[in-house]
Copies of this chain bind each other. A is one copy, B any other.
Amino acid sequence: MTQLIKVAVTGASGRMGREVVKLVLEDEQLELVAAVAPTAGPVDAGTLVGLGPCGITVSPDLESALRESNADVLVDFTVPHAAYNNTRTAIEYGVRPIIGTTGFTPEQIEELNGQCKSRGIGGLIAPNFSIGAILMMKFAAEASKYLPHVEIIEYHGDQKLDAPSGTAVKTAELISEVREELRQGNPQEKETIEGSRGGYYDGFRIHSVRLPGVFAQQEVIFGGFGQTLKIRHDSYDRAGYMPGVSVAVKKVMTYTGLIYGFEHIMD
């Protein structure tokens, strides 16, 4: 019989944390052993997320939760500052951290990697747990080796503050690393409406569309010789992260050291 993986969840009352609690409660290979949320009060974690009671009471403090729970893995989708401390605490207790937060410095990652190795456990920090988005980025980079003419169009809700999106910039970086040097377009090109050709990145263009009714979408288009190749990812809600979290929880049991980036735990 396979042993269940014991999971602790921080930020359990937050939007993503609640999804993680649900995921753990519904996955037959996982067991919820702790749920931490500083201000939620001592409610049942199952009740908190709209499922029936599960017998685990939400705790305000990570350290005491880990001391009592014997967790294998901690899943944390909180904010950068909290996440760093939570990660350190988890490693001290020998609990593998899976962190869905950006904002770690390279030095912090290096330090946490060293701590994981000392404890002989794995860990994962990833800004993006969406398998579809990660495949899109991977395929886009690969295609750019053969079809170097490329543009990126990303779509988000109309209240998003920054353009282009983090995913678009990350995709552009991955393409730039492997694509041949190429300044696309007609050198004499003129914009009669400024900005219509989009944002310039290392020879190609990025376009950011902002419309209500859109959650998060991106299309990478390659053109050449009577053909186009398009790789598109449409995301409708944050639940799209959960299959990735599920893969990560199982995978983190199998290696030692801290990995940065979900793509590096895919085969």
Interface size classification for chain A: 35 or more
6-52 of chain A: CB within 8 A of chain B? none
Once A191-B199, A195-B194 are accepted as A-B contacts, the answer to whether A211 and B139 lie under 8 Å apart by CB is no
Once A147-B132, A158-B223, A231-B230 are accepted as A-B contacts, the answer to whether A199 and B207 lie under 8 Å apart by CB is no
Query: Which of B163, B189, B224, B234 is the one whose CB lies under 8 Å from A212?
Result: B224
Query: Which of B139, B145, B169 is the one whose CB lies under 8 Å from A267?
Result: B145
Q: How many copies are assembled?
A: 4
What CA separation (Å) do A236 and B227 show in the bound complex?
A: 6
The reply to whether B207 and A207 form a contact with Cβ atoms under 8 Å apart is yes
The reply to whether B194 and A153 form a contact with Cβ atoms under 8 Å apart is no
54-74 of chain A: CB within 8 A of chain B? none
Cβ of A118 under 8 Å from chain B:
no
Cβ of A1 under 8 Å from chain B:
no
Query: Which of B160, B200, B225, B232 is the one whose CB lies under 8 Å from A213?
Result: B225
Binds B, one of A80-88, A91-99, A238-246: A238-246
The reply to whether B198 and A207 form a contact with Cβ atoms under 8 Å apart is yes
Cβ of A130 under 8 Å from chain B:
yes
179-202 of chain A: CB within 8 A of chain B? 184-186, 188-201
